[in-house]
A and B are shown apart, each in its own frame.
Chain A
Amino acid sequence: MSALLQVEGLAKSYGGVHAVRGVSFALDAGTILALIGPNGAGKSTCFNMLNGQIRPNAGSIKLEGQEIVGLPPRAVWRRGVGRTFQITATFPSMTVRENVQVALLSFHHKLWAMVGYAGAAHRPEADRLLALVGMEAQAERPCGELAYGDLKRLELAIALANNPKLLLMDEPTAGMAPKERVDLMRLTAKIAREKGIGVLFTEHDMDVVFEHADAVMVLNRGELIATGTPEQVRRDPQVRAIYLGEGLLYDAKHREGSAA
């Protein structure tokens, strides 16, 4: 059986700058894959190519064996890809529940219906999704007044509305308090494993990455420089060099210090 997501030779350049080049990887259903790397490594570009927001210059993205390169985000979504954004994107003029209801209506192909009250549509399903992310108590609240951590959880509920096979989460815990981060990722990992959803996420918080990821990929200057289990990646000298520096100056200074 082929992998849920199979990416081959993905490349994107802006002018002369290679934002992403030659990225290849595979993701199986029910596994959690982390994509890490320093700022400007090309993580977000990678993500935006995966869900169709940016068209790659080269490469192939196959979802369950089917090519999805060139499809707009809405078509990629229809094939079962949920997505959360680095900066939350929700509908501030609606209530929390209505945010989920819109996604559900779209999933059930009912958004062109011109009669009927949308606020009454798919209520139990919306409430179930909200309960899943621990937001059921806030269903009636205006989305525009939510705290940022709650918005992130709401985004997760929206992203789960189309019963996705693949979840793309761009920095899911950015801007959250430490405890909230741990809670949200535990919740995501639990949902993913229960439902067999493949999750690809980027993250700067290494605690989050190493607690939940089955595998970790490291992106630097648009290229994958390491792939493996969290343990392997932790010990990779190249990865250490990127995150901690080559040590040239630090070591030299300390050698001088000890010599003196």
Chain B
Amino acid sequence: MEFLLVQALSGLASAASLFLVASGLSIIFGVMRIVNFAHGAFYMLGAYVAFTLTDRFAGPLGFWGGILVACLVVAAVGALMEMLLLRRIYHAPELFQLLATFGVTLMVEDIVVLIWGAEDLMGPRAPGFTGAVTVFGRLVPSYDFLLIALGPIVLGLLWLLFHGTRWGVLVRAATQDRDMVASLGVNQKWLFTSVFALGVFLAALGGALQIPRTTVSHAMDLSIIVEVFVVVVIGGLGSVTGAFVAAILVSELNAFGILVLPKISMVMVFLVMAVVLVVRPWGLFGKPEGTPRAAAGLSIRPWRPMSALERMGVAVAILVAASLPVFAGNYALSVGTEILVFVLFAASLHFLMTVGGLASFGHAAYFGLGAYGAAFMVKFLGAPMELALLVGPLLGLAGAVLFGWFCVRLSGVYFAMLTLAFAQIAWSVAFQWVEVTGGDNGMLGIWPSKWASSPQGFFWLTLAIVVIGVGVLRMLVFSPFGYGLRAARDSTLRSEAIGIDRKSTQWAAFIVAGTFAGIAGALFAFLKGSVFPENLAIPTSVDGLVMVLLGGIETVSGAVIGAIVYKALAIWLMSKTELSKLVLGGVIVVLVVAFPKGIVGFLEDLRHRRRRPPAPDGAGPEAAGYVAKVEAAE
């Protein structure tokens, strides 16, 4: 009994930081409608800057002053990012905002290592709170009690800020109706900047307050951001009270999950989130959202099947690829094979995202499930490669059937969050179920059959499967099913009114995408000879998103080009520079801001413009379409 109480206290102490970070994210989303992926990075920056300052200035004043100054410094950095980056993409689809802020996260991870080094840092104890209090015969750090008290205090202060000040009233008004506030003469730019700075301040405070409890490391951003997403989704995006309640709920689940179900402790939190999203998609304290801005389907240039000339071009490209083993070395071939695998993975995600309009943030789950499926076949049933390649992807299919059923009930940010949650569940199982999956050590010795064991043989095998896979996906785009899927994406109202069942259609698309990702995963397992939990982790999912975006989200097969360019660039950067994340993050940010249509979309625009000069009054077809849309909205 006493032990449980102490455990509960420890959970409450952890909840404080989680609440601080989550409330910041929630406030930012409420007003700006941006899901700030970089929030974890600001949390980490807060910890690092506070470490430096408290290390330099000793004593109570130095410590608490250092923490405060650190938060102010990081808040200023956040405001700068809002002004330089976010202001340019407020009107972009949510997906682009998520990606841009993810790019910033990547950059910060490398910058932190550059400045503070890769070693974990041990911060000073908080003056006055170095001891421990005995509770029922057990020692509880006195600092924990400070944190436990801090949560409600900050909640109260935020309430006072939002209800007692003019600024707070404006923020609450903007949360309900931004356009109305703008038309009342409020300078929205500065309101947004100040809200963002406040949110970042809270994140930095959450990080800075962690330094007496844990070490400061350059991986603390990703671990917190996933938990924070869970908290705000459970609590309701935009609700500070919701963030408070959900932070406690999640922290206690973590604290007790370890005791009750040590094997699946990580899964529990995500299960709760999945249940909340399905039962109450807008969270416990949130409000239902309007229709989200779709990332795809904005283009008014209808897709066409390839012309005879284009088909010939593709055939030539495949022939060139097939002749690669004749002159390329083994290393180049294994790189080529890896690129091919990711071409199929990106194409499958593209089918779901662009054709289906469903931006998944956890597509790696099906890639990884396919990989593990193949590994299970080899390890437990002793199946040969051919059989494992056939059966393995079925695990990806099964995962997509199960997870997809829940996911297609949601849309927009909530769909993205739920796919992320399911991917994390799959990852947790792979990570924690050591008896079956080998946990962190992965599963080794997944080698191809003899005929395909040479780099050349496996390259040709992969090329054949990938060409067929991408071809099938492209065929689906132009099939009646693909049209029905696009119809459901373009207008739910109209598609329902012409007999299309949106959920079933999107579920089928989810399963198709999951299966092809599974095929890519199974190939990947045999290419590497092993599978690891990171095959289904967030970075793999994000890689897929970037490939689709890089190629062009509005295009039919841009993902192929995107995957080739991105993977080649990533592998090359890894070999050339220590700071690959910095460069990659920078590329993502530039891409989102300067080339939102991607490589292929950009090229298509060029071609289109050359073929058809704009109308004499300067209003091109885009403008005409825009006018039609504006009129339609009235």
Contacts and interface: CB of A to CB of B under 8 A. Distances in A.
A117 B491 contact: no
B480 A77 contact: no
Interface in A89-125: 89-95, 98, 101-103, 105-107, 110-119, 121
B625 A144 contact: yes
A91 B491 contact: yes
A105 B493 CA distance: 17
A33 to B, nearest CB: 20
A26 to B, nearest CB: 23
A31 interface: no
B490 A114 contact: no
B576 interface: no
A147 B626 CA distance: 10
Interface string A145-158: 11110010000001
Contacts of A91: 486-487, 490-491, 494-495
B499 A101 contact: no
B481 to A, nearest CB: 5
Contact of A98 (B299, B483, B501, B633): B483
Nearest to A168: B497
A73 to B, nearest CB: 4
B482 A118 contact: yes
Contact of A73 (B496, B505, B633): B496
A118 B304 CA distance: 11
Contacts of A190: none
A163 interface: no
A78 B494 CA distance: 14
Interface SS of B by simple majority: helix
Contacts of A143: 300, 302
B625 A145 contact: yes
A54 to B, nearest CB: 13
Contacts of A73: 496-497
B483 A92 contact: no
B301 A142 contact: yes
A142 to B, nearest CB: 5
A87 B392 CA distance: 48
Nearest to B634: A175
Interface stretch (B102-110, B207-215, B408-416, B471-479): B471-479
Nearest to B631: A148
B297 interface: yes
Contact of A92 (B475, B479, B508, B629): B629
A111 B476 contact: no
Contacts of A101: 483
Contact of A111 (B304, B481, B489): B481
A151 B483 contact: no
Interface in A43-92: 51, 53, 72-74, 77-78, 83, 85, 87-92
A110 B508 CA distance: 15
Contacts of A188: none
B311 to A, nearest CB: 14
B500 interface: yes
A161 interface: yes
Given A119-B305, A142-B300, A148-B628, A74 B479 contact: no
B114 interface: no
Contacts of B297: 92-93
Contacts of B483: 94, 98, 101-102, 105, 111, 118
Contacts of A112: 480-481, 484, 508
A105 B299 CA distance: 23
B498 interface: yes
Interface in A175-217: 175
Contacts of B493: 85, 89
B390 interface: no
Contacts of A119: 304-305, 478
A173 interface: no
B303 interface: yes
A215 B256 CA distance: 69
Contact of B300 (A74, A89, A92, A103): A92
B482 A94 contact: no
B621 interface: yes
Contacts of A85: 493-494, 497
Nearest to A51: B497
A162 interface: yes
A64 to B, nearest CB: 18
A135 to B, nearest CB: 15
B490 A92 contact: yes
B494 A142 contact: no
B500 A74 contact: yes
B480 A110 contact: yes
B469 to A, nearest CB: 14
Contact of B494 (A90, A118, A175): A90
A93 B478 contact: no
Interface of A: 51, 53, 72-74, 77-78, 83, 85, 87-95, 98, 101-103, 105-107, 110-119, 121, 142-148, 151, 158, 161-162, 175
22 contacts: A51-B497, A73-B497, A74-B497, A74-B498, A91-B490, A92-B629, A93-B302, A93-B489, A94-B302, A95-B302, A102-B498, A106-B498, A106-B499, A111-B481, A111-B483, A112-B480, A117-B305, A142-B300, A143-B300, A145-B621, A162-B498, A175-B634
Given A74-B499, A91-B494, A145-B624, 19 more contacts: A74-B496, A74-B498, A89-B497, A90-B491, A92-B300, A92-B491, A92-B625, A93-B302, A93-B486, A93-B490, A98-B483, A102-B487, A107-B498, A115-B475, A118-B482, A118-B483, A119-B478, A144-B628, A162-B498
In the A-B complex, the 5 residue pairs with the closest CB atoms: A144-B300, A89-B494, A111-B484, A91-B490, A118-B483
Interface of B: 297, 299-305, 475-476, 478-484, 486-487, 489-491, 493-501, 505, 508, 621, 624-625, 628-629, 631-634
